[in-house]
Amino acid sequence: MGMAIAGVRLRKFLTESGYVLLSMNKTKEKTLQPSDVAIAVELDLKDRTDHQLVLEKINNLEYVNYLEEI
């Protein structure tokens, strides 16, 4: 999947889920495979959202192969 498509799909998921997206940075640096894309997102979850649940939902997306919290 191309870098732009992955970013659009993730942005759409986050928006439709009601999460506030503060920033999104896409890169091919620090990836395991040349075909991989790394996307770093910053979300404002406020106090109303279970942090672990958000990570699980993102990790379960079909186009997410690896999730690391930084």
What pLDDT is recorded for position 1?
A: 54
pTM: 0.77
Counting the structural domains of the chain, the total is 1
**Enclosing domain of residue 7:** 3-59
End-to-end CA, the chain: 23
User: Domain for residue 70, yes or no?
Assistant: no
pLDDT digits (tens, 9 = 90+) for 42-68: 998 877 778 889 999 999 999 888 888
User: Domain for residue 14, yes or no?
Assistant: yes
Rounded-to-integer distance, Cα 56 and Cα 45, Å: 14
User: Domain for residue 65, yes or no?
Assistant: no
User: Domain for residue 28, yes or no?
Assistant: yes
